[in-house]
Amino acid sequence: MPSSVTFTELCDGIADTFDDLCPNLNRTERPAQLAGGMNDDAVLQVYPDSGSQDPGGQTDRTTFGGGVRQTEAIILCDLYAKQLNEPGEGMAALLPLVDEVVNALEAQDSEPFLGVVGIQQFRWSWRRVVFEYGDRGQTKYVGARFTLTVRLY
């Protein structure tokens, strides 16, 4: 990460973006707030997963000989839509929330992207997930995992 942006600031900016643009989320949890138990539906957990850095060089077109280092960070956003009882009910709860998150991501058309100064580019994907929560995974939630890859330099 560039020294001017911390993982905490990155996750907070992303969580704030979803708080502002996704009114049907009951709660957005940042890394320090990740709950040990899930008591609500429509919860989004935002946390870092991994990162990598491309060392700057004279041939890097983004540097113009300036030696800028590009850093990629993978941020996971786990959307817990509804405790799984009936598959149809779960999907009916999940899809409108996925639409909201997708719309919030698509609305990022100018800097600062995702509320974080320093993000130059980002891409995202999502997939449906059944999250297992609690003691021995006895409680299951239908949800989605959004994977955000942000590039900072």
CA distance 36 to 45: 12
pLDDT tens digits, one per residue of 106-117? 999 999 999 999
If you ran DSSP here, which 8-state letter would residue 103 be given? Answer: H
Residue 64: band (very low, low, confident or very high) from pLDDT cuts 50, 70, 90: low
Residue 38: band (very low, low, confident or very high) from pLDDT cuts 50, 70, 90: confident
Beta bridge partners of 152: 71, 119
Edge-to-edge order in the sheet of strand 70-83: 27-29, 43-54, 70-83, 139-152, 119-133
Q: Does residue 60 surpass a pLDDT of 60?
A: no
87-99 mean pLDDT: 92
For the CA atoms of 51, 103, 38, 122, what is the dihedral angle to 10 degrees? 0
User: From the centroid of its chain, how far is CA 126?
Assistant: 10
